[in-house]
Amino acid sequence: MKLQGERIELTLSTEQDLDFLCRMECDKDLWHFEESVPSVEEARENCLEKFAVDEDEEGASYDFVVRLASDQTATPIGIAQIWSYVDWRKSWEIGFAIIPEYGGHGYGREAAELLLALAFNKFGAHKVVGMCNAHNHRSSALMEHIGMRREGVFKEELYWNERWTDQYFYSILDSEYAAQAKFGMMYRSFFVSQHDQDYHPEVACGVASLLMLLRYHQLADEVTFLLLAQELRLTDPPAIKGYQATDPPIGVYPEDVYRFLLDRKILFRVSFFKHEWETCLLSGPIMVLMRDDGDEFEPHGHWVVVVDKEGPVFTYLDPWYKGDSGEYVRQIEESAFFECFTGCACQIIQKGHGVTKFIPVSEGERQL
């Protein structure tokens, strides 16, 4: 079996890779966040046992060696693994590692993406999971970048560095993977780390929605949820921000979004005729403020990101459901959409004037 990517290729490991695999498995620096690292003898024995297992055997794992597609010498640069997590649930677990001298180039991410494609497109997986030490921030970020979400924390699961340490549990469902394939970068840009969701979803939706737009247009590659929340003054009461004290507590108001974009000379559009939505969405997502009695949206106000319109059906991404059930790819009929639409919307546009990237504005420079 061979998995071909744009820059790398994954081939099933063989006994010819034994020396490389043993060096990888025994590298204490590479496996710094693991509880223990096997000896050379243990690693060799483990590898030989895996070679003896038929790859078609039910529940068997698949161990790949990562190589650069352009390298004529086929020098191995890492490993990627996928194995059955719970067979009858059609769930699989993935793991990956790239040797340090090849790190920082996105090879680990591409390897993980190839594993997801294998799991969902060939194995018919319902769910793919991944786990990491809570201190392994690079691994956490990688899994979030490929569309996985942190759905749980195993408290003090690992005994690491002579202390008990939490372990993060990430996953992605087949339905989420299918949506990711359809919406591509738009879907991935929406992801906000679960540990950034320190606010009630009702007020956090506006921050998450604006962050998605900024990331989609590559205007905020390094911006975190918390930094953007601070810039939008999320925790300030309406009166402090210059609004009426009786205004509903939605956290982020339309004026907050518009002021933020104006301060940074980012071009945006706020008005859309009904017949324009389908065409406008071809240029990028639109964040909109919705409201109803609570069945679908919050009564005070509820920001979502509309990503597609096909016929009479809108598809949108909802931060509320991300923090709750994970079912944040939602659809709504056109008639119901306009019944709940408050008339407040925002779409970032880039046409000729050159958009500036996100730069925090000091309190003295902030326009009120």
Q: Are residues 22 and 57 both part of a single domain?
A: yes
- Exposed/middle/buried for 3, CB within 10 Å: 0-12, 13-18, 19+? buried
| Residue for token pair 């009564």 | 299
User: Which of 182, 208, 240 delimits the end of a domain?
Assistant: 182
Instruction: Give the total number of structural domains in the chain.
Output: 2
pTM for this model (two decimals): 0.60
Q: Are residues 6 and 142 both part of a single domain?
A: yes
- Which of 316-326 are b and which e, b meaning 16 or more Cβ less than 10 Å from the residue's Cβ? bbbbbebbeeb
Q: At what angle do helices 18-25 and 40-51 cross, to 10 degrees?
A: 130
- CA separation for the pair 236, 231 (Å, rounded): 11
Tokens of 150: 């942190």
User: Which of 182, 206, 222 delimits the end of a domain?
Assistant: 182
Q: Are residues 297 and 262 both part of a single domain?
A: yes
Contact 69, 44 (CB under 8 A): no
Q: Residue ranges of the chain with pLDDT lower than 70?
A: 54-59, 182-203, 221-222, 294, 321-327, 351-368
User: What number of other Cβ atoms are within 10 A of residue 275's Cβ?
Assistant: 7
Q: Are residues 267 and 337 both part of a single domain?
A: yes
Give percent of the chain with pLDDT exceeding 70: 84
Q: Are residues 250 and 344 both part of a single domain?
A: yes
User: What number of other Cβ atoms are within 10 A of residue 289's Cβ?
Assistant: 24
CATH number at residue 84: 3.40.630.30
Each residue's pLDDT tens digit, 106-134: 899 999 999 999 999 999 999 999 999 99
Range of the domain at 42: 2-182
Q: Are residues 294 and 252 both part of a single domain?
A: yes
| Type of residue numbered 183 | F
User: Which of 128, 155, 182 delimits the end of a domain?
Assistant: 182
- CA separation for the pair 107, 7 (Å, rounded): 8
Q: Are residues 168 and 280 both part of a single domain?
A: no
Whether 70 is covered by a domain: the verdict is: yes
DSSP 6-18: SSEEEEE--GGGH
User: What number of other Cβ atoms are within 10 A of residue 148's Cβ?
Assistant: 24
Whether 360 is covered by a domain: the verdict is: no
Nearest to 293 by CA among 237, 336, 323, 346: 336
